[in-house]
Structure 1
Amino acid sequence: MTTPAAPAGSKPKRFAALAHRNYRLLWTGLIVSNVGTWMQMVSQSWLIHEMTGRATDLGILGLTRAVPLIVLSLVGGTLADRVDKRRLLYVTQTLAAAFALLQGALTQLGVIQVWHIWALGFLSASVLAFDQPSRQAMLPYLVPREDFMSAITLMAVTFNGASVLGPALAGLLIPVAGYAAAFYLNGASFAAVIGALVLMRLPPPAARPAQPPVLHQVAEGLRYIWRSRTVRSLTLLAAAFGFFGAPYNAMLPVYRVILGLDERALGFLSSAPGLGTVLGGLVLTQFAHIRGRGRLLLGSAGVFVIALIAFATSRHYVASVALLVAVGACATAFSSTTQTLLQHATDDRMRGRVVSMFTVTVIGFQPLGALDLGWAIDRLGAPLAISAGALLVAVVAVVMAPRVKALE
């Protein structure tokens, strides 16, 4: 059972997804939870740097977050296709809260070690590998198909808006109450999502026949992704974006030297993509029912490439900030449009596995791409290395264009 469509001929509403109660509950809960998540992520990095001062230890933290997403997301997506998604989310949200509270307790007791943070980062990312596909696979039960774009874009706005607000709150809270307070607040923030799940009015889960083994279904999902030309093209394009394009964000501290910035100016530069993703998402929600989404996807990828190359080669601070806002806006348009097209192109029985592969390509591939980009920057310099990565995104987009541009 899916959410009924709007009456034929009805005028699309702004922020249409928020007209649906179940979606509105989840979206509101995620606003709170995402702020807590970003508070914890930056607090973990700051705490590690304060404890050791080694950039390598920060890189290991990123790796401990990436590996579970790459290895486990397809298993998580398969499980989302097999079980009641709301019950699975109860488990993942509760575990995530428990890990955050444990980190808070270890920090407050003064026994926290760097390996504790790595381990808890690994465990939290492992939970996310099951949580994210379940949330995305619930979408047809929350909004009708014509509101998928609105729903996905609004979700992106909450996450990216939290990427601006969460670190700012952490910066205000930690000097007053310490790192433990940030971890405790993140643990408490998961109650907002759990409460939303409790209040949702969903149809009872359908009876399911006997299921084949999980790994058999993982393989079935991979075959489905590869054999569907549309899903395969979108997935490969997302992989190129995640591995070659998006990792620029991890390299922004390099521009402190290139542009001659102090800490405050670097902070504004680093927040510019997040501001762009919020602004881009808000604009995109006004055109959620636009036709020609394949052309929108390719257009956003093209402008992303141009703006990223312009930023990489810029030597002017204000121009660099403005270009990064444009990069962030295009990244949101690309990601939201890709997810919408994947949702429309995917059978219900495969939805969890397909969206989990999107998680792998866009979220899991970024830290791996950052490792390669860092290696290239050390040898070629940031302008050339980042520009080369952007051009590789453009090459893949051109190859995929014949299949993607006609998608609605």
Structure 2
Amino acid sequence: MSDRADSTNTSVATPVRVATFAALRVRNYRLFFSGQVVSNTGTWMQRIAQDWLVLQITDSPLAVGVTTALQFLPMLLLGLWGGLIADRYPKRRLLLITQTSMGLLAAVLAILTLTGHVHVWHVYLIALGLGLATVVDNPARQTFVNEMVPHDLVRNAVSLNSGNFQLARMLGPAVAGVVISLVGSGWAFAINAVTYLAVLAGLMLMRTSELQKMPRPKRGPGQIREGLRYVRHQPQLLWTIVLVFFVGTFGYNFAIILSAYTKDIFRSGADLYGLLNTAMAAGSVVGALLAARRTTGRMSLLFFMSGAFSLMLVVLGVTPWLWIFVGLLVLTGLFSVSFNTLANSTVQLRTDPALRGRVMSLYMLVFMGGTPLGSLIVGWITERWGAPLALVLSGAICILASVGCAVIAARSTGVSLKVDLHKGADHHVTLVSGAA
């Protein structure tokens, strides 16, 4: 399936490639990227420490799922309003507010844990507070890239953002495992609180005169409905977002799965939990760097990556050997971030700039907002029947979603396959527009 079907025999253009780190030549983006490397590493330290702390307090994978659900529930309930705020107000100013709030919440959790006064309900409340800040932070941060770099570097910058996030995902769990083992979870939370200073410094040092101006919607009724209608009438946006919902809900529950594998399958502790997360992140970094060289992305590649990631979940679920499991996590991370990067950049680049915040908030709503449902379901299955079965079922659901969305998206855009097998002909496959 091709992105476009404008002619009877649709040709597929050779992807244009750019230097892997092209967007880093832009000063404002370089400041943003540098601050995010530090802050994201601290965030991943906190995520690992938070999951491990809850598991220590409750001895329940379901409780870990509840924590994850509370952190993502606000996105499910308020995500579209967060996107509207991101469209209406200066994104740099919004990020200064949200990042400060998240840093303060990390500091509170650190103090409670280090003083020995932390209870599971404290973790629940702070997770909910982080979720509320994320409602605005996510669409503002996702769309801010369009103001920092020129249009032809947006896909590169989105890929580098993913690589940034995954590099932090690789470093954060490894550091968290060491910190938790040596001095406890409280210091991991304290380190995370300090790392927010890096992203705040980067935002403050930006040259606002070099930020590209984006259109802002005028105040008026029906602006959220306007964003929903826009997506509904854009099949490639609609079915990408539908697929992201299924993958985000059932495929991205590794906090629950990997903590259960560490404790129940491999009978180990925080060090191994950090290693499993690091292995997956290592593959994700490679996937993000490969994606950064592309300035175009086909829908067919998007659905292929989704299917490959989904299949890896099933393969992981039937793999009982530790080091093979670790190796498969690397491949899973590569396919995961390739799909995520393609989906994110496709939605951003195909959306009207005046609606981008609302559309990206819908994207993040289904990607992260489905997590409360998915984490509760996967946590319940994990606790009742074990992590391997939970992985296999999750992968099977995502495979069905990948195939279904690919077929419906192809039909919606009028694209079909034509295979020429006539005797004496050059046997080849072409993409044919249904409108022809």
Range into which the TM-score falls when normalised by the shorter chain: 0.7 to 0.9
Q: Are residue 186 (structure 1) and residue 192 (structure 2) matched?
A: yes
User: TM-score, structure 2 length as denominator?
Assistant: 0.81
Higher RCO structure, 1 or 2 (CA under 8 Å, sep 6+): 2
Which residue identity lines up with residue 240 of structure 2 in the other structure? L
Instruction: Tell me which residue corresponds to 1:218.
Output: 224
Which residue identity lines up with residue 337 of structure 2 in the other structure? T
**Residues of 2 paired with 1:154 and 1:243: CA distance?**
24
Partner of 1:288, secondary structure, is coil
Instruction: Tell me which residue corresponds to 1:311.
Output: 316
Q: Deviation of residue 31 (structure 1)?
A: 0.5
Q: Deviation of residue 398 (structure 1)?
A: 2.9
Q: Are residue 279 (structure 1) and residue 286 (structure 2) matched?
A: yes
Instruction: Tell me which residue corresponds to 2:365.
Output: 360
Q: Deviation of residue 265 (structure 1)?
A: 5.7
Instruction: Tell me which residue corresponds to 1:326.
Output: 331
Which residue identity lines up with residue 322 of structure 1 in the other structure? G
Q: Percent identity?
A: 33
Q: Deviation of residue 288 (structure 1)?
A: 2.0
Q: For residues 82 and 305 of structure 1, do their structure 2 counterparts lie closer, same or farther at Cα, with a shift above 3 Å needed?
A: same
Structure number, greater radius of gyration = 2
User: TM-score, structure 1 length as denominator?
Assistant: 0.86
**Residues of 1 paired with 2:274 and 2:132: CA distance?**
30
Q: Deviation of residue 236 (structure 1)?
A: 0.9
Trace 1:2-401 onto structure 2 (pairs within 5 A). 12-203=18-209, 210-212=218-220, 216-247=222-253, 250-255=256-261, 262-263=268-269, 268-285=275-292, 287-289=293-295, 291-376=296-381, 378=384, 381-382=389-390, 384-401=392-409
Contact 2:313 2:391 in 1 (8 A): no
Q: Structure 2 unaligned segments of length 5 or more: list them.
A: 1-15, 416-430, 432-436
Higher alpha-carbon deviation: 248-257 or 220-229: 248-257
Q: Deviation of residue 118 (structure 1)?
A: 0.9
Q: Deviation of residue 280 (structure 1)?
A: 1.2
**Residues of 1 paired with 2:206 and 2:374: CA distance?**
38
Q: For residues 383 and 20 of structure 1, do their structure 2 counterparts lie closer, same or farther at Cα, with a shift above 3 Å needed?
A: closer
Q: Deviation of residue 64 (structure 1)?
A: 0.9
Partner of 2:370, secondary structure, is helix
Q: For residues 48 and 261 of structure 1, do their structure 2 counterparts lie closer, same or farther at Cα, with a shift above 3 Å needed?
A: closer
Contact 1:33 1:193 in 2 (8 A): yes
Q: Structure 1 unaligned segments of length 5 or more: list them.
A: 1-9
Q: For residues 172 and 384 of structure 1, do their structure 2 counterparts lie closer, same or farther at Cα, with a shift above 3 Å needed?
A: closer
Q: Deviation of residue 369 (structure 1)?
A: 1.7
Higher alpha-carbon deviation: 357-366 or 21-30: 357-366
Q: For residues 258 and 394 of structure 1, do their structure 2 counterparts lie closer, same or farther at Cα, with a shift above 3 Å needed?
A: farther
CA root-mean-square deviation: 2.8
Q: Deviation of residue 171 (structure 1)?
A: 2.7
Contact 1:254 1:382 in 2 (8 A): no
Contact 1:308 1:390 in 2 (8 A): no
Higher alpha-carbon deviation: 339-348 or 36-45: 36-45
Q: For residues 387 and 167 of structure 1, do their structure 2 counterparts lie closer, same or farther at Cα, with a shift above 3 Å needed?
A: closer
Q: Deviation of residue 383 (structure 1)?
A: 6.2
Matched residue count: 393
Higher alpha-carbon deviation: 273-282 or 376-385: 376-385
**Residues of 1 paired with 2:121 and 2:408: CA distance?**
42
**Residues of 1 paired with 2:23 and 2:104: CA distance?**
31
Q: For residues 149 and 111 of structure 1, do their structure 2 counterparts lie closer, same or farther at Cα, with a shift above 3 Å needed?
A: same
**Residues of 1 paired with 2:188 and 2:260: CA distance?**
28
